[in-house]
Amino acid sequence: MTPYNFTQRNELSFEFTTDQGIVYTALFFDYEYLFGDYPEISKYIYSFTLDIVKGENANHLLDDKIGETVVSIFKRFFESKDNVVVYMFATVLTNAILQGKENLIGGFGNITMEVC
């Protein structure tokens, strides 16, 4: 399956539009400030969120291309990062998108991902 085309807005921000016209923003948040007491690891910690910024979300659960797009976004993000920890706080949206995406969770070698 081919993911949606996405635009990288900056180092930590991506955007894509589904066939249904729903616009998503995928954001990585630098969590370095939360780990100031641990400078040896603080620059490697990020959080991830996926938000609908325009459109109705009624059909997103039926669209497998969203998950494939998120996988592609993670791959792009990891191209410029090494030894990264990414936290994703589970929501109904992220759970639905990540179901069956075992190639996303734990599939990047030296990258650690944790779904909370």
| Residues of the chain above pLDDT 70, percent | 69
Average pLDDT of the residues in 83-89: 69
Structurally, the chain folds into a number of domains equal to: 1
CA angle 23, 18, 60 (to 5 degrees): 90
Euclidean distance between CA atoms 61 and 87, whole angstroms: 22
- The span from the CA of 103 to the CA of 89, in Å, is 18
Domain carrying residue 20: 6-115
In a domain, 1, yes or no: no
pTM: 0.73
pLDDT band at 95 (very low <50, low <70, confident <90, very high): low
50 is a domain residue: yes
Q: Is the pLDDT of residue 111 over 70?
A: no
In a domain, 48, yes or no: yes
E strand or H helix at 40, and its extent?
Answer: helix 39-42
Asked whether the beta carbons of 61 and 97 are under 8 A apart, the reply is: no
